[in-house]
Structure 1
Amino acid sequence: MQRTREFLRGIGLPGADPGDLPSSAKRFPDGAQYRVEIPSVEGPEVLSAVFAEADARGVLVHRVSQGSGGMLQTDGEMAAMAGIAAERSVEVSLFARPLAGWDTGAAALAAGAGSVVAQARGTEQLVYVLEDIRRTCEHGFRSVLVTDLGVLSVAAAMRAEGEFPAALRFKVSVQMGLANPASIRLAERTGANTYNVPTDLSLAQLAAIRQAIDIPLDIYVESPDDQGGFVRHFEIAEIVRVAAPVYLKFGLRNSPNIYPAGTHLLDTAISLARERVRRAEISLALLDRYFPDATGSALPAADLAVPVR
């Protein structure tokens, strides 16, 4: 194996997952090691609930993400969500949809189709996703969640050509599934601005990925059941130490998948969002206990993709 390991090192990749778990010297532009993300924030009412809970619990939220997609937000809801977030200088990342999992094809429903559901099917669906991104940008948002590598490559080209705003940021979803330093470096080179790694990667695997890329990693400290349901709160200090810069992401085990969300699930979405903030308070207390010198970003942060009103 030594020749292969030496080849990997020769192209700028780690030759092995490190055993000594080195501290990451990389940082956000403001010098911080971590930021907080609350996922599944499905609309303006849920966003307001997140901020109310965060204020009550002393949790500083830097970014929220949404899973149902801009396509399932009305114009008024988009405007309200952008305005609420802009007042708080918080980034909002809306999922870019539709994708195969909600389409008419049968393959996405097959038992072994986990890698299929998050892909754009055919040219028409590629166009639909790009149009969803265009509409999201027109409503002032400057961050979108992307799962498909082809969508990422074309959207990055459209950003470079001025079709999309230059400030648009591509947050790669956990559903893309890339899990090693070489493949995630490919996503970075394709245009990803942050990358959500699979939820079960070890600290050594995270450290190896950090050696290979510079963009922030999005890491579930607690993941929803359909992403493994892992509760990794006691690892938060080491996650920050070895993987910085990192968005600490607080999903929720033992909770329903509410995508696609809507008014019929509003009360559930609000309750889940409030509990995610509570989980963040619990986990951040552990971070302060075991890594008190860890630095988080203050708000506003210049590089956050805050909506433009």
Structure 2
Amino acid sequence: MTAHPHPFVPGLPALESLDLAGTGAAPPASAHAFPDGGAWRLEIPSVEGPDALHTVLAAADEYDVPLHRVSQGSGVGMLTDAEITAMVQASTERDVELCLFVRPGANWDVGAAAASAAGSVSARSRGTTQLAAGVAQAERAVGLGVRSLLVADEGLLWVLHELRERGDLPADTQFKVSVMAAPANPAALRVQEFLGADTVNVPSDLTTHQLAELRAASAATLDFYVEAPDNIGGFVRHHEIAEIVRVCAPVYVKFGLRNCPDVYPAGGHIAATVGAAARERVRRARIGLDELARTPDAPRMSAVGERAQPALQRFRRP
């Protein structure tokens, strides 16, 4: 990978004038984009039900934040049919993609490995029963109009992709790999692409050089927490948003929320927390977008309502 001079970074000219700019070369810009030519889209995660979704939509109007996708983490199984239908309707009316998590996973199960210091299976499907439960939740969600599913297990990802390939799931269904199964190296990202992933959460603690290495290995759309929840590191990288987009495009920039309790599974007992956090995520997105706007030649946003993904490679069955 060839070295590249640093792009514009706010504050860097002042450091250069004092001979404090450093010596490192910047990673290369991505050669990829969304099909409409845009470099980035915006996602608000942890939108846990119809009330939270309405809160996010209202806050997006208030803060003038473009919404491409909202995602939910409690899982399809924690929503009623009526709640899913209401979310599908509200997101369709605003031309926003709705992504629901297909669970359960090991971290909700009776096994101890999910809580162990080493060898954790995280949120991956544990045994055939959980694998089948994930398939059933996917089938239920698409039957109610959902066309974007969040997956935290490579086996479940491949199964759902195979079902999509043979027409058991709609051809326009998209699969998004959860940060709980995030690939941390180029080979792992390529494997998830081959297994059927359309968009892939990558770890938020990767350097921009490491992100460039992942991008060089795959054209799959990346999902990146510009601000990460505490349980995946609590990183706040608003000041790097332009460089992250430059290196990762096409990328969904995501605004989680540091210093916020884990709300999964959400419900009426913590509705006030869920709603307040949802609104604050949109405000954080406004902060990130303002940082991006202050960058000369800021990367182009993909149009709101666009959900097409780059053409990708898949494993071929014998």
Q: Give me the TM-score of the superposition, normalised by structure 1.
A: 0.90
The residue identity in structure 2 corresponding to 1:42 is E
The aligned counterpart of 2:134 is: 129
d(CA) in 2 for partners of 1:271, 1:213: 37
The aligned counterpart of 2:49 is: 43
Q: CA deviation at 1:118?
A: 1.1
Q: CA deviation at 1:110?
A: 2.4
The aligned counterpart of 1:120 is: 125
The residue identity in structure 1 corresponding to 2:56 is V
Q: CA deviation at 1:156?
A: 0.5
RMSD over aligned CA atoms reads 1.5
The residue identity in structure 2 corresponding to 1:169 is Q
d(CA) in 2 for partners of 1:284, 1:44: 25
d(CA) in 2 for partners of 1:295, 1:20: 20
2:264 aligned with 1:247, yes or no?
no
The residue identity in structure 2 corresponding to 1:205 is Q
- 1:121-145 Cα offsets, whole Å, 9 max, x none, are 1111110111011101111000000
The aligned counterpart of 1:67 is: 73
Q: CA deviation at 1:109?
A: 2.6
What pairs up with 1:10-21 in 2 under 5 angstroms? 20-21=26-27
What pairs up with 1:90-239 in 2 under 5 angstroms? 90-113=96-119, 115-239=120-244
d(CA) in 2 for partners of 1:147, 1:83: 26
Contact 2:97 2:307 in 1 (8 A): no
Q: Secondary structure at the match of 1:290?
A: coil
Q: Secondary structure at the match of 2:225?
A: strand
The aligned counterpart of 2:262 is: 257
Contact 2:242 2:298 in 1 (8 A): no
Contact 1:143 1:170 in 2 (8 A): yes
The aligned counterpart of 1:12 is: none
Contact 1:237 1:291 in 2 (8 A): no
**Long gaps (5+) in structure 1:** 6-17, 305-309
The residue identity in structure 1 corresponding to 2:240 is E
The aligned counterpart of 2:299 is: 294
Contact 2:292 2:298 in 1 (8 A): no
Q: Give me the TM-score of the superposition, normalised by structure 2.
A: 0.88
* Aligned counterpart for 1:33 among listed residues 36, 39, 47: 39
d(CA) in 2 for partners of 1:58, 1:75: 31
Q: Secondary structure at the match of 1:156?
A: helix
The aligned counterpart of 1:10 is: none
d(CA) in 1 for partners of 2:42, 2:304: 12
Q: CA deviation at 1:267?
A: 1.2
Contact 2:150 2:175 in 1 (8 A): yes
What pairs up with 1:276-287 in 2 under 5 angstroms? 276-287=281-292
d(CA) in 2 for partners of 1:226, 1:166: 34
- 1:129-180 Cα offsets, whole Å, 9 max, x none, are 1101110111100000001010011110011111111111000011103200
Contact 2:40 2:302 in 1 (8 A): yes
The aligned counterpart of 2:19 is: none
Quick one: structure 1 residues 291 and 94, their matched pair in 2 at CA, closer, same or farther if it must change by over 3 Å? farther
Aligned residues: 287
Quick one: structure 1 residues 248 and 83, their matched pair in 2 at CA, closer, same or farther if it must change by over 3 Å? same
- 1:27-79 Cα offsets, whole Å, 9 max, x none, are 10111000100000000110010010010111001001100011100011011
Contact 2:227 2:257 in 1 (8 A): yes
**Long gaps (5+) in structure 2:** 2-23, 310-318
